[in-house]
Amino acid sequence: MQAKMVNLKINNISVSVPEGTTILEAARKAHIEIPTLCYLKDVSCVGSCRMCLVEATGARGLVAACVYPVSEGMEVRTNTEKCRQSRKMTLELILSKHKKKCLSCERNHNCELQKLSLGYSVDEDRFKGEDFVLPIDTSTPYVVRDNDKCINCMRCVAACRKQNVNAIGPIGRGFHVHIGSAFDMPLSESVCVGCGQCIVACPVGALSENSTIENVWKALSDPTKQVVFFTAPSVRATLGEAFDMPVGTNVEGKMVAAIRRLGPDHVFNMDVTADLTIMEEASELINRIKTGKPMPMFTSCCPAWIKFVEQRHPEMIPHLSSCKSPQQMFGALLKSYWCEKNGVDPKNLYVVSVIPCTAKKYECTREEMKDDVDAAITTRELARMIKTAGIKFTELPDEEFDNPFATATGGGAIFGATGGVMEAALRTAAHMMDGSFEVLDFFAVRGTNPIKEATYLVAGNTIRVAVASGLANAETIIRQIESGEKKYDFIEIMACPGGCVNGGGQPTLSDSVRNNTELKESRAKALYTSDTKNELRRSSDSPVMDVIYNDYFGFPNSHKAHEILHTTYHADKRI
């Protein structure tokens, strides 16, 4: 049924919007952006920051545009003197207890509070708040929380709740309210899984990744080290945003050129070990189907999802694929196969992964595979290094990855989008089971819907699959399996909504971009376009896979492959 339309005026501009639309949403129809701090599309809409206050006929006083619905004939004024003075005072009150270390803040020149303060000509010292210093939480390898920079917008709390993790929340009352874990325990002792969605939701510098940039610079300057970089599939679809390029621009060639200018010995393509993961994972799935091992099988390439299972659903550990993630596989491959082939002592090899994810920083420290990768830096950290080195990113020529790990398939490229791992695995598993199975496009598992399902008939076997992104949706699938409501054979889970393209380590974009752009869709499109243009689309067709297995592992799921490319998990019940 078509929604009833409501007609109104915003700053004398006539607009018509569906009934139930908020003033904030209606204003965009008039090409007017109302300032916000607590609002973030798909994450938070609570009207608490009071920055979006506007004047509207029929309302008593100023109203919060992000939650106030429009009505027929309403007239809205968004920039009256009353509105501007209210916003200015709100900003000055926020700044009264804000650590104003802008020059050294990671969000300098990319901070919503800084941008609004400049626009409203605030006096940052108009109100003198009570001086108190909260400890900076650096207890995890992936997130740093500096509550003296926090503005209590609650966006991080909303993001954590949306993930159904609930590791953080408001603590205290009045002026002393701050965000933290239960009983003010360190984040490392909480149920946090490291997905980093809180970081990309934060409008200021209160949250950031636990940076390893300095370690990487030191390695690059160490003549005794061979330094190798490799980049995750989704990074090429997002890195350009840090240099003001349009969302969804594929900058693979410029990315390689920029990294090469940082000074490493080699720049490799992590899509190669995405293909390797598929070879191992597809073989494991087929083996489970044939032998009756625990089903369904869950993918294991997302470390935040793995930690979520270990903490909340240890009963599901036998259902996890034993495959390492592409990041850890690459590190293990380099420090075994590549070092042997090139006569390099693994102790002298420094392996750097560039990833869209903060949980990958945690993954590097897991006892089971802590020696695989030496440093994991986010897309944001790579952009920072490129800028620090004075590299003019947008002017760079396109360059190619280094051999022998340059060529990968389209199946490896789509790993960064929700459904991509599933589609890549189906392409190869189906072909392994039935050599005449030539389908390459599995459209039912594509797209950004939170949960997707499909059923395929392959070599007489009915394979029921599901794809979920966002941990709340993963929880839904687990409950449905345990209750018997759903039966699946293979399930892909990514912790971040939309997959790695929306990971916690991706570029921090302004609210005006995040609230008006379909980020997940635009970024994923770049990966699927890369897949379509690739002559090699099935991981099992990669010539690099042929070389790796013929030279070293023998065949997928061999004893040697299990020793190097697979891992184990353990229960870590914290709730």
Residue numbers annotated as active site = 281, 284, 301, 321, 360, 363, 368, 500
Structure tokens at 307: 């930690």
Check residue 396 and report its DSSP letter.
P
- Strand pairing class (143-145; 178-180): unpaired
Q: Are 486 and 292 in contact (CB under 8 A)?
A: no
Please state, in angstroms and rounded to a whole number, the distance separating the CA atoms of residues 488 and 289. Answer: 12
Give the closest residue to 323 by CA, choosing from 490, 557, 550, 496: 557
Please state, in angstroms and rounded to a whole number, the distance separating the CA atoms of residues 516 and 28. Answer: 9
Please state, in angstroms and rounded to a whole number, the distance separating the CA atoms of residues 527 and 521. Answer: 10
Number of Cβ atoms within 10 Å of the Cβ of 117: 21
Give the closest residue to 76 by CA, choosing from 19, 11, 171: 11
Check residue 338 and report its DSSP letter.
I
Please state, in angstroms and rounded to a whole number, the distance separating the CA atoms of residues 325 and 318. Answer: 17
At which residue do the structure tokens 């909260």 appear? 134
Name 53's Cβ contacts closer than 8 Å, sequence gap at least 6: 62, 63, 64, 65, 83, 86, 87
Alpha helix positions (H), 406-558? 410-413, 420-433, 471-483, 511-514, 519-533, 543-548
Name 295's Cβ contacts closer than 8 Å, sequence gap at least 6: 288, 289, 319, 488, 489
Q: Are 303 and 362 in contact (CB under 8 A)?
A: yes
Q: How many residues in the chain?
A: 575
Task: Please state, in angstroms and as integers, the Cα–Cα distance from residue 394 to each residue in 238, 239, 536, following that order.
Answer: 13, 11, 28
Phi, psi of 320 (to 5 degrees): -75, 135
Number of Cβ atoms within 10 Å of the Cβ of 431: 20
Phi, psi of 377 (to 5 degrees): -115, 145
Phi, psi of 380 (to 5 degrees): -60, -45
